[in-house]
Amino acid sequence: MERTKVPIPADVVEGLEAVRTSGKTNMLAVPRAIELAFEMEHHATALWVHENRKQYAEGIFRGFEAADRLDEDALIEMAARFLDTEGGESGCADKQE
């Protein structure tokens, strides 16, 4: 049985690769991977992993496949939900574009 890779946004793949190659955490340590993504300014990656933990876990074991990039509206919505669940205390709260 062939394992299919998990399709995720291309910008998220880039951020995950940056976190992985930093060697600063085991990628199964999800909260730390999210924290490092924020620290490395891969905000889209941190937000996507925070909201898609099941897909992230599947991808760790099956591999990831780059799909379309996250659009700005989706990213803004994820940031708003993150701030709601985290009480507004995050490394991305001061990120403005």
The one-digit pLDDT tens for each residue of the chain (97 residues) are 568 999 999 999 999 999 999 999 999 999 999 999 999 999 999 999 999 999 999 999 999 999 988 788 888 888 898 888 876 554 444 443 3
Q: What is the DSSP letter of 89?
A: -
Residue 12 lies in a domain: no
Residues 6+ apart with CB under 8 A from 75: 43, 44, 47
- pLDDT score recorded for residue 74: 84
Residue 76 lies in a domain: yes
Structural domains of the chain, count: 1
Residue 90 lies in a domain: no
DSSP string, 71-94: PHHHHHHHHHHHHHHHTT-STTTT
Strands 64-67 and 6-9: parallel
- Domain extent at residue 33: 29-85
Residue 79 lies in a domain: yes
- pLDDT score recorded for residue 1: 57
Interatomic CA distance for residues 25 and 23, integer angstroms: 6
